[in-house]
Structure 1
Amino acid sequence: MSENPKDAAVTIPAQSTGGEAAGKSGDREVLLKVSGLQKHFPIKKGLLQRQVGAVHAVDGLDFEVRAGETLGVVGESGCGKSTMGRLITRLLEPTAGKIEFEGKDITHLGVGGMRPLRRDVQMIFQDPYSSLNPRHTIGTIVGAPFKLQGVEPEGGIKKEVQRLLSVVGLNPEHYNRYPHEFSGGQRQRIGIARALALKPKLVVADEPVSALDVSIQAQVVNLLDDLQQELGLTYVIIAHDLSVVRHVSDRIAVMYLGKIVELADRDALYKAPMHPYTKALMSAVPIPDPARKSAKSERILLQGDVPSPISPPTGCRFHTRCWKATQICKTTEPKLVELKPGQQVACHHPENFEDQAPQDTVLLTVAKAAAELVADEVLAESAETSAAVAAEVAETAASESEAPADEAGESEAPKGAQD
């Protein structure tokens, strides 16, 4: 199979055309709205299968996705990204919360109620090997949505399936082949063709390139980007590769242990992350610069592992690994609030912004231990930026309070001149 020359030459860059869309996303209508979304998986033991606990996979999510934009979702394994994707596509039943699609509440719709919405909401699964039935041909797999929805495309199902295969870069003549005859990248393209068959409005892609070779990842990412521009799709892309997310997303949500800790425009997030966990994630991105080979690494190493979602920590869930954690972080859960235009953060002591709890300055013991794993330069930079931003905010407030007096003096000057 011959790939698109543009795709073959592209490595995932830091900027993409999605940045232009990000500035206009505020003018678009809200396609998907999620409020207080939760999913707890019960833990049962004993002969009577009594519930003894629950896994808090998703524990209170609030976000919106606007028509035509791409929302990227990142976080460590086990943070609830994939569960969130299955909840908003209604492949899982939520424990609590509300999901609205085009203003309609779809939180608890049954199979019959969701059937018409399946045309508008589709999912691309992570594993291209297990998501395709090995007993069915590619034509049967890609054509299944038409039969399930009772849709008869113009020219017939076979012609439409062959057109879809051509759109995703496959040979239409492979209509009668089986999944085992294709590579991983080709199988993922088949999954994409199946998801796009009914021309959906929202596509949730659960780590669409994580199972592929690096040489193939850029081709699939560029394919998704091109299809969005051609078909006007809206994406929620779940991934753990920060370079992929940066390339395709307009906005990015950072998840940790079932909650969103930061939600911001792509450029703002990568330029000045405000949550300590986000900053630690960004520091892990390798910089391909030979001149920095001998430079001291400023990577932030987090102590320990992610706490168990069966019994998550009280207060801020990141306080057990954070180098800035104080007593308020242990006792009070921070709310996801907009500290900068387009940048929401859930943190008492954010980076690159004034301290939200300046009265609480005594570090926890775990924070002192975590600080030992963080470079001195990073700690100094964190303290300097917070102090500088706080001083700038105070200076701006002072100048604004003096402005009315100055304006009053200027307005009286012409009057005196006329006298």
Structure 2
Amino acid sequence: MTDTKKTADDVSLPEQATESPEPLLRVQGLVKHFPIKKGLLQRQVGAVKAVDGIDFDVRRGETLGVVGESGCGKSTMGRLITRLLEPTGGKVEFDGTDITHLGTGGMRPLRRDVQMIFQDPYGSLNPRHTVGSIVSAPFRLQGVEPEGGIKKEVQHLLELVGLSPEHYNRYPHEFSGGQRQRIGIARALALKPKLVVADEPVSALDVSIQAQVVNLLDDLQDELGLTYVIIAHDLSVIRHVSDRIAVMYLGKIVELTDRKSLYEAPMHPYTKALLSAVPVPDPRRSGAKSDRILLKGDVPSPISPPSGCRFHTRCWKATEICKTQEPPLLALKTGHQVACHHPENAEDQAPDDVVLLSAREAIEIVSATPKSAEAEVAAPLTKGEVTQDAVVLAEAEATEAEAGGKAEAEGQDAADAKVAEPEPAAAEAQADADEAEPAEAEADEPEAAEEATTEAEATTADSDEPGADDPGAEGDSAPPRTSGDITKE
């Protein structure tokens, strides 16, 4: 194994002598087309261009993040560099060895150095095998006998990823999603590989478990000296774990740089639109956030991608040259590569070109509203102030009630006060009815009269005076009769 690597390194030394440090993985013009066949004879009528010519390298000990929307070819690229898929074209070099078209037998020795963590923790584990059988499979396939035995090494791996050694004889259905992903990580790290490709390792997990798995990957990288290629669509996760970031769109890499340059000064319009979609959880910081860029239309089909720049159908800066000429991936700044004729934070490559008519309606900009955010922040404060005022009033009323006497006496006084209030109203209504004034009778509504009568009945029933029942009864019967007589007249 060692002699083979030395021979391969000797062959490729003139090509790599100028680069420092030497990349662990180098990809040049990688292409993968899935054929579309129809008819009885299964003739090929087209192809899905999942990956259509990408170039990048991965340095030793670094983490390369790959982002992009669904269908851009991220997962296909990950399976190509691990040789789980056969490339249609291009070249893949790992540690100085060309592994582009190696067969199963040729790739078997390299499987110790290249491993993959799959996206679905539920489908990547065999439900009929125990955890010990799953994690120990790499040792059996490679014929490796670790010191102390396979079982001891598997239990050590389980402890390394945060699981208990007692889980050795359990089955995958007995674990949660985060625990299953940890089992997959333990299996990938069994043979201590040099390169680990993680295909969206936290997308199927809860947010709290995501942080644990991401921190676990960071700790294992520092402890074992791993090199990562992490594929994800969550920009916050990629920003946390990556040293450099590659942005893919429709089978192409449109921007490649370190995370600081990408998040602070993105050059490609597609990258800018992606970053504008990142939500800000703190409304007090939303004023500093740029406007939200909404890309109109759907992603073009990878079966027949647009000519020229593949993003020109959804780009607000597209010109005639974007429609006809594909932009190459060039380094416009030190370590910042972008494939765009009209980059955002760099010099325009075609300043005098004619803007396409479709570019004017390609996007919709949603402006940030810091005022509304400030109102949302101030709303709880206002409610708190009202609550404090209510508490102060309640305390003042309580002190007055204690100074007035006992609670029963206060309740009786309050009832007497309520009884005394409607009596003048009922007396005035009765006097007005006896005087038969048309103007006041027409102004009173029937509902108000009924409420006044019911209140008068309540007061007469609660009154202790013996002569108070008769005038209350007369007051109850007199107003409707008088009002009826007045209406008739």
TM-score range normalised by the length of the shorter chain: 0.7 to 0.9
Higher relative contact order (CA 8 A, sep 6+): 1
Correspondence for 1:322: 315
DSSP 3-state at the match of 1:374: strand
* Cα deviation code 1:379-405 (max 9, x no counterpart): xxxxxxxxxxxxxxxxxxxxxxxxxxx
* Cα deviation code 1:188-226 (max 9, x no counterpart): 000000000000000000000000001100000000000
CA distance in 2, matches of 1:35, 1:297: 36
Residues 385-396 of structure 1 aligned to structure 2 (within 5 Å): none
Residues 120-159 of structure 1 aligned to structure 2 (within 5 Å): 120-159=113-152
Structure 1 regions of 5+ residues with no counterpart? 1-25, 378-419
Residues 17-416 of structure 1 aligned to structure 2 (within 5 Å): 27-292=20-285, 298-360=291-353, 362-371=354-363, 373-374=364-365
CA distance in 2, matches of 1:184, 1:39: 31
CA distance in 2, matches of 1:148, 1:292: 53
CA distance in 2, matches of 1:209, 1:137: 23
CA distance in 2, matches of 1:294, 1:107: 49
CA distance in 2, matches of 1:157, 1:110: 28
Amino acid at match of 2:356: L
Amino acid at match of 1:162: Q
CA distance in 2, matches of 1:132, 1:317: 37
DSSP 3-state at the match of 1:192: helix
Correspondence for 2:445: none
Aligned-residue offset at 1:296: 8.9
CA distance in 2, matches of 1:295, 1:236: 32
Structure 2 regions of 5+ residues with no counterpart? 1-18, 369-489
Q: Which moved more, 1:297-306 or 1:28-37?
A: 297-306
Amino acid at match of 1:374: I
* Cα deviation code 1:13-67 (max 9, x no counterpart): xxxxxxxxxxxxx853210000000000000001111100000000001000000
Aligned-residue offset at 1:289: 2.0
Amino acid at match of 1:282: L
CA distance in 1, matches of 2:159, 2:310: 46
Give the 3 Å change call, closer, same or farther, for CA 258–138 of structure 1 in structure 2. same
Amino acid at match of 2:365: V
Correspondence for 1:416: none
Runs (4+) off by over 4 Å: 292-297
Aligned-residue offset at 1:129: 0.2
* Cα deviation code 1:277-331 (max 9, x no counterpart): 0000000111122225689971100011110000000000000000000000000
Query: How many correspondences in the alignment?
Result: 350
DSSP 3-state at the match of 1:316: coil
TM-score scaled to structure 2, two decimals? 0.70
* Larger Rg, first or second structure (1 or 2): 2
CA distance in 2, matches of 1:279, 1:293: 17
Q: Does the aligned pair in 1 maintain the 2:292–2:367 contact within 8 Å?
A: no
Aligned-residue offset at 1:367: 0.6
- Measured on the aligned residues, the alpha-carbon RMSD in Å equals 1.4
Q: Does the aligned pair in 1 maintain the 2:293–2:365 contact within 8 Å?
A: yes
CA distance in 2, matches of 1:325, 1:185: 43
Identity level (%): 83
Q: Does the aligned pair in 1 maintain the 2:246–2:253 contact within 8 Å?
A: yes
